[in-house]
Each structure stands twice: as C-alpha cells, then as structure tokens.
Structure 1
Amino acid sequence: MLPHYSLLLFLCLARLLSPSAALPFEQRGFWDFAMDSMDTGGMMTMMRDEEEGSAVDPTFPPGVPTCPFGCHCRLRVVQCSDLGLTEVPKDIPPDTKFLDLQNNRITELRENDFKGLTNLYGLSLRNNLISKVHPRTFVPLKHMQKLYFSKNLLTTVPKNLPASLVEIRIHENRIKKVAAGAFAGLSNMNCIEMGANPIQNSGFEPGAFKGLKLNYLRISEARLTGVPKDLPESLHELHLDHNQIQAVELEDLRRYKNLYRLGLGFNHIRNIENGSLSYLPRLRELHLDNNRLTHVPRGLPEMKYLQVVYLHSNSIGHVGVDDFCPRGFGVKRTFYNGISLFDNPVNYWEVQPATFRCVSDRHAIQFGNYKK
C-alpha cells in the first residue's frame, strides 16, 4: 500500500491529466460562457432548437416584456423620444408608468395605440405632427394623470380624455374652438395649459369648462380681446398674458373669488373699471405690465392680501399718495414686497414717500426711470 502522501500525489497528477481538468478561464468569444457551462448533449439540444426557431433568448426570460426597438426602458419609464417615429411603437411593456414620445414625427393616434397600458401615469407627445386622434385612443388609460400634448397640429381638444386626468398641456397647437363639454367628466382636473392657440373669445362655447374644479388655467398668446366668460369658479391662478384684451369690465372677474394670482401682462388694457378688483379678496399677485394704463388701477388699497403688483411699461404719468395703501387705520393684512413702476412717464422724485407706507422694504419698489 502506498503511503498516504504518495496516494495524494497520484490523485493530483491524475486530475491534471484528465480532459475535464479545470484551467484558468480565458474568454475568447460571447458564447464561451455558454459552452463552458454546457455538456455536449446540452449544446446539441440548443443548436437543434436554433434550427427549429424555438431557442429562448437568455437576455429576456419567458414572460418578461421587451423594450420597443430604439427605445430605452428602465424603472417603468419608456423613453422613445427623438427617434423619428411616425407612429406609436408596438410592444410597450404593460407596466409602463411614463411613456416619452416627444420630438418625433407621429401624425395620428389610433384606437389601439395604448391598448393594455392601464398603469400609465404620464404620457408625453410634445413636438410631433399629430392632427388626428381616434375618439377611443385614451379609453384604456384608466389611471393616467398627466398628458403633455404641446406643439402639435390639433384643431380641437381630444375626445374622451381619461377621467383620472389631473394635468393637460395643449399649448402651441391650432385649436380655434373649445366645444361645450370638451372637458366633461374630468372632475380631478387641476391644471390646463392651452396658450399659443389661435382662439378668440367666441371660440369658447357656453359650458366649455362646465364641471371643472381647476386650480390653474393659462390661455396666453391667443387672440382674446377680453376676459373669457364662464371660466371655472375654483381658479387660483388665471394667466391671460400676451393677448389683445382692451379693458377689464366690472363683471369680468365677478366669478373668481378664489384667485390669488392674475396675469394680464402684455395686452392692450387702457382701463380697469372701478370695482372690478373688489371681487378678488384673496388676490396676492397682479400682473398688469406692458399695457396702456394711464393711472394706477383703483381699488388696490382695499386688497388686504395683495403683495405683488407689476405696473411697469405702461403710460402712468401720476402716482397718488393713496394709490396703494389704505388711509388712516385701514387694514392691510400683508405688506407689499414687490411694486414695479419703471418704464412709465412718471417722475419718481414727484411721488411722496408716504405713498409706499405699507411696503415691507424700500428695495421692494422698482421705480427707476431707466428708459432713455
């Protein structure tokens, strides 16, 4: 019998001389991993499956959805932007939460483009060429809350928007008309951005916003000549800047008692009828810059919460001592922290210091006559 150390040496030599001996692995090709881990029978089976078309791609195990060609899929976000797509891609994973299709050349949304995407939360279609939307395109999107549809060729608001929708942005399209009930059933809607559409006041049919409890609405860069009628009473922010509004009449703001920010800059406003602002008891910001006002609007001293007033780039030639602050012991709950009066023909040295007695800090007043 061999000594135990001789037996050990013999076994080691036998192992080294064996064809199946383990040597340091040096990968020379992609399939080296597969070939090293498979026996001859396994390799033959895989080759036979390849020929028969039944081989399983190890990159995508059975039941795991693939990512559309050219797109990037990660953490339930599918990014297919800037690919020159002319239609919505197929095989979008059903668990997708956000789908990015912006900056493509999609011209139409068809009925089944989003079929099965019941978990979708947000959809971006910004900057495409979409002019046609099937009435049932959005029906499968039971939980979608955000829809970004800006910079397309829409002429009307898409039909049958998901009832779960909270925010829609459809500015920079070709919308000229908002039909009655265009937003029907959208009781959760919070924000609508529809500026830069060639829409006139007559383009809003009665009941266009019926049932909405909006917080934010912007209709800037349109063709409005006055404040639109029958907007949602719930509004906190209303932006109508860059239009052709000539005046603010007494009844224009009567419905909007909850407004805290009103944007009317870059219009043609010459007059704000006395008493118009009294309907806005909670207003905090008033933007009237770049208009044609000749005096400070009446009623500002009675606005207890007003903090910011933009009046620059108008034609104001005089500022009175009581134009901004209440007299005597009049109540103002919050002091102004921003008043802009620059680029007006008024001489700042003629304005009495007491005019700004309810301003938090002298730096809050922008009054320099900087325009040469």
Structure 2
Amino acid sequence: MKECLLLLLLAVCSAKPFFSPLDTTLKNMMLKDMDDDDDDDNANSVFPTREPADPFFPFDMFPTCPFGCQCYSRVVHCSDLGLTSVPRNIPFDTRMLDLQNNKIKEIKENDFKGLTSLYGLILNNNKLTKIHPKAFLTTKKLRRLYLSHNQLSEMPLNLPKSLAELRIHDNKVKKIQKNTFKGMNALHVLEMSANPLDNKGIEPGAFEGVEVFHVRIAEAKLTSIPKDLPSTLLELHLDDNKISNVELEDFKRYKELQRLGLGNNKIVDIENGSLANIPRVREIHLENNKLKKIPSGLQELKYLQIIFLHSNSITKVGLNDFCPTMPKMKKSLYSAISLFNNPVKYWDVQPATFRCVLSRMSVQLGNFRK
C-alpha cells in the first residue's frame, strides 16, 4: 500500500499544469479589447482603447484611483460623492470621467491637466459658476462635454476644438458671443435649453464656420426664430419660447432642415411661403400655439410625414390643406397628423382631405373642449 501511495504522489508532482483551450481565447480577447492604434478612425468610438505596455499584463496591477471613485477600463466614476472640487490622482489614460451629482463650484486651471486622452466629461448637476479659461487646454481629444444643470452665467472660453457634443442645459447663460465656437469643426450637437437667452443674446458670427446639425434652445426667451444659426442644421428645436410669428425670411438659411420644433409658443401667424424654404423637412411641431388656420404650404412639402397642430385655435380644415392635388408630388405619406383640441367641426372635414396618409390611425381629430 505504501509503495502505491508513493508512486501516486510522484505521478502528481511530475504532471504538467492543465491549460484549458479557453485560456488562449480569453487572453486574445482581452488583448484585442485593449488594442488601439490611436488613429483618426478610433477617435469617434465611445470608449477608445490603447495598446498595453506589456501584452502579458494588460491590466495595471496597482492602478491609481481617486478616493471614493470607481475606476475600470479607463472610465472613472466619481458621481454622487458630495465632492466640492475635482479630485486629484485621476489616471492619465482616463477616457470617460463622470463627476455628475456633486457640489463642485469651480473648475480650476489644472483640474484636467495631463488628461490628454479624455474623450467624455460629465459635470451635470453640480454648482458650477466658473470655469477657468485654460481648464481644457490639454484635453485636445474631448468629444463629449456635459455641463447641464449648473449655474454658469456665460459660455466657457477656449472650448476644445474637438468637441462633437456640448450640452449646457439649465444654466444662466444670457449671451453667445462672437467666435464662441470658432474652429469647432466637429461640433454636431448643441443643447442650450432652459437658459435666459433672448434673440439679442446671440451675437452675429457666433456660429461662423461651424457645421452644427442639431440645435436645441427650448425654454428660453426667444421672441423670434434666430436667423444666424448654422446653415447646416438638420434639427432645430425652439419649443417653449415666446415666438409669436414666423416670417418669410426665417428659414431661408436652413434649407437642409428635417425636424422643426416650435411647440408651446405664441405663434399666431405663419407667413405664406415660409415653409417652402425647408423643402426637406419631415417633422414639424406646432402644437400649443395660437394658430387660427392650417399653415399654408404643407401640401408642397414632399417629405413631410409628421405634423402636430393640436391645441391651437384652428376652426377649419380644407380639402387640400395637407395633400397635393397631384399624388405623385408626395414622396412620403403622413404617419401622424394631430388636430385634436381645436374648435374644428370634424363632421365637416371631407374624407379626401387625408388621402395621403398611411392609415386612418395616422389622423387624430378628437373633440374640442373649452
């Protein structure tokens, strides 16, 4: 028996370690996830990566992370910690930094120094009143900057030219100065709603040379449609303002517009020919205004699919208010026409009025209640 046990122990000690076929696969997957050539194509990814210094140890054995924060895969989470300033010791290879829901009042000059790989910065819901003009000096790869729900009274100076998305919703910004966005050729989305911004606050030349596709300035103090926004706009949202009229010149600059939001304003009249300047528009919101008739020119908009006109003062719907007389002129059928909560006698509306809609469910008339 002793001899058998001895032979068994010798066999175990001399045996080679077992490697599962999955070990090599997992290792290759981790290395692939960490691989990055830092070229222009990778700059648009949400979480760009970088090739590790040591392929056998793709993760830092002793990573640094600000106290109380959570760090993983070059993403640093420091939200909801009651922070009053930007924490120190943020890893230099950080790509996404989350600082929302804190009590940070000021961004100082060196708060982001050395974060040359930073791609996204979230500062929503803090108490920011000041951002140093040189705060973003080294963040030359920053693409997403979220500053909503703070107390900023002016646009930050020297914003990174690499920005593709800027959200500064619900602050105290009253003015957009000339050259604020100069050189920001990658800026595609600008969210500025819930700021006390009026038409005079948008200085001429503020958007000069910038190709922005999506602009939202809702819940502001605009009394008319701004005429100096980027001509490249695909979406323009001006809901919840004090706009009372739409004039012929208002849309001449925005010929590529596809979505237009003008709901919850005080629009009484839309001048004839105004909508002809946006021939590619697909969706228009005019609900909760003071219109007394269907805007003219809708039947000429070949691609219009959605039109919201509910909660106005419209009393009549004509046979050709929505559809062209020649069917081939309409390239896209309506998927939604809302007319409810208007003093329209719906029994007087002829069925052929909605001959260019997808189905009966696409039209909402409803009863009018005072």
* Short-chain TM bin: 0.7 to 0.9
Residue of structure 2 in register with 1:251 after alignment: 249
Amino-acid identity (%): 57
8 Å contact kept, 1:116–1:140: yes
Q: Residue 219 of structure 1 aligns to which amino acid in structure 2?
A: I
RMSD of aligned residue pairs (Cα, Å): 1.5
8 Å contact kept, 2:212–2:232: yes
Residue of structure 2 in register with 1:168 after alignment: 166
Q: Residue 295 of structure 1 aligns to which amino acid in structure 2?
A: K
Residue of structure 1 in register with 2:302 after alignment: 304
Q: Residue 103 of structure 2 aligns to which amino acid in structure 1?
A: R
Give the aligned length.
315
Matches within 5 A, 1:9-158: 64-158=62-156
Residue of structure 1 in register with 2:284 after alignment: 286
- Deviations along 1:246-305, one digit per CA (max 9) or x if unpaired, are 000000010111000000000000000000000001000010000000000000011000
Residue of structure 2 in register with 1:227 after alignment: 225
Displacement after TM superposition at 1:62 (Å):
9.0
1:340 aligns with 2:334: no
Distance 1:159 1:84 in 2: 26
Displacement after TM superposition at 1:368 (Å):
1.1
Displacement after TM superposition at 1:94 (Å):
0.7
Displacement after TM superposition at 1:356 (Å):
0.4
8 Å contact kept, 1:164–1:186: yes
Residue of structure 2 in register with 1:208 after alignment: 206
TM-score norm. by structure 1 comes to: 0.83
Distance 1:149 1:318 in 2: 45
8 Å contact kept, 2:207–2:230: yes
Displacement after TM superposition at 1:328 (Å):
3.8
Q: Residue 163 of structure 1 aligns to which amino acid in structure 2?
A: K
Structure 1 residue aligned with 2:362, among 360, 364, 369? 364
Distance 2:60 2:285 in 1: 59
* SS at 2:353 equivalent: helix
* SS at 2:329 equivalent: coil
Displacement after TM superposition at 1:330 (Å):
5.6
8 Å contact kept, 2:343–2:368: no
Residue of structure 2 in register with 1:185 after alignment: 183
8 Å contact kept, 1:298–1:323: yes
Distance 2:106 2:285 in 1: 38
Residue of structure 2 in register with 1:47 after alignment: none
Distance 2:222 2:161 in 1: 29
8 Å contact kept, 2:342–2:368: no
Q: After the TM superposition, which parts of structure 1 deviate over 4 Å for at least 4 consecutive aligned residues?
A: 61-64
Residue of structure 1 in register with 2:16 after alignment: none
CA 1:329–1:285: 2 relative to 1, 3 Å: closer
Distance 2:224 2:278 in 1: 18
* SS at 2:71 equivalent: strand
Residue of structure 2 in register with 1:39 after alignment: none
* SS at 1:192 equivalent: strand
Distance 1:330 1:319 in 2: 22
Unpaired segments of 5 or more residues in structure 2?
Answer: 7-58
8 Å contact kept, 1:192–1:218: yes
TM-score norm. by structure 2 comes to: 0.83
Unpaired segments of 5 or more residues in structure 1?
Answer: 9-60
* SS at 1:70 equivalent: coil
* SS at 1:147 equivalent: strand
Distance 1:261 1:130 in 2: 32
CA 1:90–1:329: 2 relative to 1, 3 Å: closer
Matches within 5 A, 1:259-274: 259-274=257-272
Distance 2:307 2:61 in 1: 59
- Deviations along 1:76-101, one digit per CA (max 9) or x if unpaired, are 11000111111000000111110000
Displacement after TM superposition at 1:75 (Å):
1.1
Distance 1:211 1:238 in 2: 18
8 Å contact kept, 1:81–1:103: yes
Q: Residue 307 of structure 2 aligns to which amino acid in structure 1?
A: V
Residue of structure 2 in register with 1:55 after alignment: none
Task: Compare CA radii of gyration and give the structure with the larger one.
Answer: 1
Q: Residue 132 of structure 1 aligns to which amino acid in structure 2?
A: K
Distance 2:327 2:143 in 1: 48
Displacement after TM superposition at 1:329 (Å):
4.8
* SS at 1:363 equivalent: helix
